[in-house]
Structure 1
């Protein structure tokens, strides 16, 4: 009943009975128990068409909160949420070497009940064998998570940032209602979130979707190098290629991908040629994805991938090389990773409560 109320946000007892598929007496007893433990509270009164009124319930002050952290390469985004998904506090900082300050600022605004769980999204392989996220997969991830200064007794799940963004698009964005799709992130790095059967596919070691590890370059006279594809397709390499080819006649050279796309949008011929070529490169990567996964839909995201200027070129190259596949821009935007992490954190927070409330087996004598 607690989980049903958390999912509804607020509801009357008849509404809860309908949502849970339980009898009204059973629901009344459960709601009374939740009220007694301050896990639920009355928030008002609803009046029906017949003039009858019913108490409206929401989560109570003892339900607690959860924390979601997007520990990105260029930023730290933090959300504190109630267990019904309501965002209670949020902060995003850029280029801050002290992400713990951002975490503390959000924690300082959470005053309702215990902190139940945290999910930290990282731009790396996240979990241990089986992809559980119970332990960091690499020392670098462990060090990054340690810098957050999270409470020592707080249950923490570590998740890949692209997987989190894929979850946000599944529930809130361009992939709503889809059973299978892929979220292709192109930005500082590249990555793939794979959703199949409505769930994120993590793989045996939590590394499913690590397309940066595809062999590249591959061909006569070329020797593939680790993460060579990410080095070529990432924003840094794109800007370096632009800078090398730029001449004084082209005007001031763009300092980053944002400036490059702005110039292209304004009609700058050379900038537009680089954007169009990069769109074809992303289209080839998308074609490789369709050959393996046949997802039906690829959602483009990331600092570069989310730019709508890429869509026509990606679609054209994918049509030329790949299986019939819809391509859409991300709908949640740059907050997708922290939004997906918050959704995972809320689910873990609810489980923390319902697990504690579940009947315990008798202790053997």
Structure 2
């Protein structure tokens, strides 16, 4: 059954808007070429989108040819402003962008472990409000939040998790209260990192892969056939609880200390480095575990560094082998600050160890975005949601 004229117009409008988002400003002639529409149809959709305040003339093209220059049309970037938050145990980072994703301002603030729930929430909300003001935005259309822990697939809310600060759950409600016009969404941090790596990072060529997050904590995101898996309770990828050899115990429902986390969490990496005689500046600009790994990679001729990297690679390979045996993803990315610090060197060592553990062919790649992947993924999801709403055809 053919689409009605109004439906066809809506489909064409959304196609044109997404092309303008992906390609940047385009002329009517370029839109005609890319959409395959007739010249009159393109003229009509340009008129509709301009009247709706979604696109405007942003310049001219064809200055080197004879005759009048063609108008360049672009999305009205300040039609909506968006914010993204990366919420960690030790602090929060925020970025504010326009509708096309241009970052207008970024800020971060530490939140100490002994800070009470109320003051911690107030610090985080105040950081967002300052960032919005610095960006020159009157209001936020959408806020995307990346946080550790489980997201309830039914409600979309962050579940109460043992070991995570209470202010994480309170923050979402506080932002919605202080920013009543904004659409606030929360997603697991590792899932957002995987989304960012698939769109803009090391998994651009993959429809199926697993991102293994190596940072302060440990997690995994599973993308199969282009689809992010969350699980019945939102727990897909809670690899820190995976029972593995070498931990001296088993994890419990409230403590992953006996699981994979005990092998590759930041504290475990620091202990492993110390056992090999390696130390890092505790006041340095990056987390200690990442600094230790980066330092070891920078000194490959050092026997202690090589032994440390081999030992760490062996630990990581245990988790990767488990993932490969269950999912056969064909590709595992090492993400997070530690994965970024280890880079191609650590990924290669893990890959070699994996060959002796698994019969399945699995590439091990370093993530390209590191710790910034969470914030980038939150921005991408916020932009998607805002554009889906703003680009939708008006109800008739």
Name the TM tier (shorter chain): 0.7 to 0.9
- In structure 1, the partner of 2:60 is 45
Alpha-carbon distance between aligned partners in 2 of 1:63 and 1:138, rounded to the nearest angstrom: 36
Which deviates more, 107-116 or 288-297? Answer: 107-116
Alpha-carbon distance between aligned partners in 2 of 1:153 and 1:216, rounded to the nearest angstrom: 46
4+ runs of 1 displaced by more than 6 Å?
251-254
Q: CA deviation at 1:268?
A: 5.0
Q: CA deviation at 1:314?
A: 0.6
Alpha-carbon distance between aligned partners in 2 of 1:254 and 1:109, rounded to the nearest angstrom: 33
Q: CA deviation at 1:253?
A: 7.3
- In structure 1, the partner of 2:388 is 351
Check conservation: 2:78, 2:99, Cα contact below 8 A: no
SS in 2 for 1:207: coil
- In structure 1, the partner of 2:74 is 58
- In structure 2, the partner of 1:329 is 366
Instruction: Describe the shift of the 1:338–1:259 C-alpha distance in structure 2 as closer, same or farther (beyond 3 A).
Output: closer
Give the root-mean-square deviation of aligned CA atoms.
2.9
Check conservation: 1:9, 1:84, Cα contact below 8 A: no
- In structure 2, the partner of 1:235 is 266
Instruction: Describe the shift of the 1:112–1:297 C-alpha distance in structure 2 as closer, same or farther (beyond 3 A).
Output: same
In the alignment, which of 189, 194, 207 is matched to residue 166 of structure 1?
A: 194
- In structure 1, the partner of 2:10 is none
Q: Once the two structures are superposed, what CA deviation does each residue of 1:330-357 show, in whole Å capped at 9, x if it has no partner?
A: 11232111111111111100012133x3
Higher relative contact order (CA 8 A, sep 6+): 1
Q: Once the two structures are superposed, what CA deviation does each residue of 1:185-223 show, in whole Å capped at 9, x if it has no partner?
A: 11211111111222322222322111122235699x944
In the alignment, which of 318, 329, 350 is matched to residue 284 of structure 1?
A: 318
In the alignment, which of 83, 86, 107 is matched to residue 102 of structure 2?
A: 86
Check conservation: 1:263, 1:272, Cα contact below 8 A: no
Alpha-carbon distance between aligned partners in 2 of 1:330 and 1:183, rounded to the nearest angstrom: 8
Instruction: Describe the shift of the 1:23–1:203 C-alpha distance in structure 2 as closer, same or farther (beyond 3 A).
Output: farther
Give 5+ residue unaligned stretches, structure 1.
Answer: 361-365
Q: CA deviation at 1:296?
A: 1.2
- In structure 2, the partner of 1:27 is 42
Does 2:105 align with 1:71?
Answer: no
- In structure 2, the partner of 1:363 is none
TM-score by length of 2: 0.79
In the alignment, which of 134, 143, 159 is matched to residue 137 of structure 1?
A: 159
Give 5+ residue unaligned stretches, structure 2.
Answer: 1-12, 113-119, 283-287
- In structure 2, the partner of 1:261 is 293
Instruction: Describe the shift of the 1:262–1:328 C-alpha distance in structure 2 as closer, same or farther (beyond 3 A).
Output: closer
Which deviates more, 260-269 or 118-127? Answer: 260-269
Instruction: Describe the shift of the 1:239–1:321 C-alpha distance in structure 2 as closer, same or farther (beyond 3 A).
Output: same
- In structure 2, the partner of 1:187 is 215
Q: CA deviation at 1:263?
A: 4.8
Alpha-carbon distance between aligned partners in 2 of 1:88 and 1:204, rounded to the nearest angstrom: 37
Does 2:303 align with 1:297?
Answer: no
Q: Once the two structures are superposed, what CA deviation does each residue of 1:223-263 show, in whole Å capped at 9, x if it has no partner?
A: 443423213320112323554x47xxx58677532443355
SS in 2 for 1:108: helix
Instruction: Describe the shift of the 1:173–1:195 C-alpha distance in structure 2 as closer, same or farther (beyond 3 A).
Output: same
User: What number of residue pairs does the alignment pair up?
Assistant: 351
Q: CA deviation at 1:9?
A: 2.7
Alpha-carbon distance between aligned partners in 2 of 1:294 and 1:14, rounded to the nearest angstrom: 45
Q: CA deviation at 1:315?
A: 0.9
TM-score by length of 1: 0.85
Check conservation: 1:238, 1:257, Cα contact below 8 A: yes
SS in 2 for 1:125: coil
